[in-house]
Amino acid sequence: MSEQTPVSPPDGETTGEGEQTAETAAEADEGSTTRDSVSTGAESVVAALEQAGAETLFGVQGGAIMPVYDALYDSEELTHVTMAHEQGASHAADAYGIVSGKPGVCLATSGPGATNLVTGLADASMDSDPVIALTGQVPTNFVGNDAFQETDTVGVTQPVTKHSYFAADSDTVGTEVGEAFALAEEGRQGPTLVDLPKDVTQGETDEFPGEPETPDTYNPPNEAEPEAVDSAAAALAEAERPVILAGGGVIKAEASDELRQFATDYEIPVITTMPGIGSFPEDHELSLEWAGMHGTGYANMAITNTDCMLAIGTRFDDRLTGSVETFAPDAEVIHVDIDPAEISKNIEADYPLIGDAKQVLRQLDDAMPVAYEAMDTSPDEYAEWREQCQAWKDEYAMTYDMPEDEPLKPQYVVERFSELADDDAIVTTGVGQHQMWASQFWTFTEPRTWVSSHGLGTMGYGVPSAIGAKIAAPDQEVVCFDGDGSFLMTVQELSVAVREDLDITYVVLNNEAVGMVRQWQDGFYEGRRMASEYPWIPQFDMLAEAFGARGFRLEDPAEVDEIIEKARSYDGPAVVDAIIDPAENVYPMVPSGGDNGLFALNGDQLGDL
């Protein structure tokens, strides 16, 4: 982050110039300091962020938020990354939250700044990502008058946040920001917003914000009820064809180790949802990878035929379930979730276990041996089922045509990159076919290494999310697989990656189309390719160079390894414009609202469904 906006004056500016006050000298002596008093609402906002442990903020300046930025100028603890667009700020904060587990913070001014954040907040809301947004607002006496750059930000964002606050008072604004921060990360994570009228942030106050605490109406459960755990364990012990379905909630609850332990102790096959990718190592023999519309055939076979599903931290999204009528139709469902409203929302839970996934997995682990004994069964009885799952892995193996000549196969690019990359490399994506190939052909083994837009499916998520991910984990390799359409939606954020000197490798799987749409048009609209082809696409390698990044063009399958290595070894943002076979489509596929067991492995099967 070499050329970022200086939020605190560089040492040279004050040291030895005789202007230093006794106070700042004392602070400099002590090294890092924490402020302990405030004089304005804006300072109180900044103090609240410092107290909450925030480190990096992503934002864009503007009139109504200027007092907060001004207060940031003196912060020693907070670093600000200026983004090119507020949507970029919200996605970067979202990815920061996914990778670090702590709320990512984004800032915007009122009106257009705030509305530009909305997509990112909606995205975070659908994926339960911890994000806090601070938006400027016109002064309170103008609110409601259609003043310059006024938007009812609380009204606009309420449906896409856990809660949106309107700060009405300089004395309480800091405490509200702390509360929003705590709320974003406690219980089921999600975005929160605090709207900050300019007179409130400019107003005088000496009220130092309290500790970040969630409101007293918010009491997420921790442990599941012991009797419920015992009956769920009994159901699992009695099952013949059990599976674990691990969702994003496992990762959010830091329960991946517990999951690994539990699955291996009782030898139960593990399927993840798409947001759950990384919660269980995909190279483990019990892993069936992920299920759903473009999930593996073996995961979808297992999910369809299981008689007992331990579902943890998943909201049973329709891209996972297909038609609910045919989803795991033989299965008793044990549903572990911290949000009671997820229980029986889409799929009825026979055994609801409301609590934190980590705690509940531990509780279940304790209950299992007792349950086996009581049932007079043991994990051995699942052996036949495990063999069946293994047979499906062979029968429905994930394959694609190997490219000997052009055109280049996108799956090959992803697979090779996965082989060459560090084990803990983080992958982010845009939305479309490339996102599916990335999730299918990269082998994920660690939590918090898969960063993608699931619930909202936001094109343009790729470029800024890679920035947020890299800043959250500067020592980890970061790769972004993007589509040409998605890349163009937020390409301006490349300027940020260059300015901040972030070592990110962007791979644009370029099929000169919004490929996923084209795939559906070919499959379901008789090939009428309305508005899905991009005959006017720019050359992304050259575009990258114009931004000050390094650009590479990749067309020849024989050059895949070489160019990947060149891009990886370039110390800064690199963009690989990978010209892929435009005819390539994503399989397997469960048609929308279909039956998970009836996935198509190819176009012919799709036609028969």
Ligand X SMILES: Cc1ncc(C[n+]2csc(CCOP(=O)(O)OP(=O)(O)O)c2C)c(N)n1
> Which of these, 169, 217, 165, 225, lies nearest to 195 by C-alpha position?
165
**Catalytic-role residue among 58, 166, 179, 198:** 198
289: left (phi over 0), alpha (psi -120 to 50) or beta: left
Question: Is residue 283 a contact point for other proteins (CB under 8 A)?
Answer: no
| Strand pairing class (351-354; 332-337) | parallel
Cα 112 to Cα 115: distance, rounded to the nearest angstrom: 5
**Catalytic-role residue among 43, 77, 86, 289:** 86
What residues from 460 to 499 belong to the interface with ligand X (CB under 6 A)?
460, 483-486
Spell out, one character per residue from 460 to 499, where the chain touches other proteins: x when CB under 8 A holds, - when not: ----------------------------------------
Q: What angle do helix axes 112-126 and 86-100 make, rounded to 10 degrees?
A: 30
166 binds, among ligand X, other proteins, none (CB under 5 to 8 A by kind): other proteins
433 binds, among ligand X, other proteins, none (CB under 5 to 8 A by kind): ligand X
Rank residues 234 and 590 by Cβ distance to other proteins and give the closer one.
590
378 binds, among other proteins, ligand X, none (CB under 5 to 8 A by kind): none
Cα 101 to Cα 506: distance, rounded to the nearest angstrom: 23
Cα 160 to Cα 122: distance, rounded to the nearest angstrom: 5
**Non-local CB neighbours of 533 within 8 Å, separated by 6+ positions:** 512, 513, 518
Q: What angle do helix axes 357-375 and 256-266 make, rounded to 10 degrees?
A: 10
* Burial of 1 from C-beta contacts in 10 A (0-12 / 13-18 / 19+): middle
Task: Report DSSP letters for 230-290, one per residue.
Answer: HHHHHHHHH-SSEEEEE-HHHHHTT-HHHHHHHHHHHT--EEE-STTTTSS-TTSTTEEEE
Cα-based distances in Å from 380 to 180, 268, 310: 48, 10, 18
Question: Is residue 210 a contact point for other proteins (CB under 8 A)?
Answer: no
204 binds, among other proteins, ligand X, none (CB under 5 to 8 A by kind): none
217 binds, among ligand X, other proteins, none (CB under 5 to 8 A by kind): other proteins
Query: Is residue 131 within 8 Å of residue 99, measured between CB atoms?
Result: no
- How near is the Cβ of 341 to other proteins at its closest, in Å? 4
User: With CB under 6 A as the contact rule, which of the stretches 41-49, 223-231, 253-261, 425-433 interacts with ligand X?
Assistant: 425-433
- How near is the Cβ of 176 to other proteins at its closest, in Å? 11
User: With CB under 8 A as the contact rule, which of the stretches 201-209, 263-271, 510-518, 593-601 interacts with other proteins?
Assistant: 593-601
Task: Determine which residue in the list 370, 397, 542, 558 makes contact with other proteins, applying CB under 8 A.
Answer: 397
**DSSP 3-state assignment of 439?**
helix
Task: Determine which residue in the list 17, 19, 325, 571 makes contact with other proteins, applying CB under 8 A.
Answer: 325
**Catalytic-role residue among 148, 211, 384, 395:** 148
| Owner of token pair 């909450």 | 52
**Catalytic-role residue among 4, 149, 390, 539:** 149
Residue numbers at the binding site for other proteins (CB under 8 A)? 154-155, 158-159, 162-163, 166, 183, 215, 217-219, 221, 223, 297, 301, 304-305, 316, 321, 324-327, 329-331, 339-341, 343-348, 350, 395-401, 522, 583-585, 587-588, 597-609
Residue numbers at the binding site for ligand X (CB under 6 A)? 430-434, 457-460, 483-486, 509, 511, 513-517
Catalytic residues: 86, 148-149, 198, 516
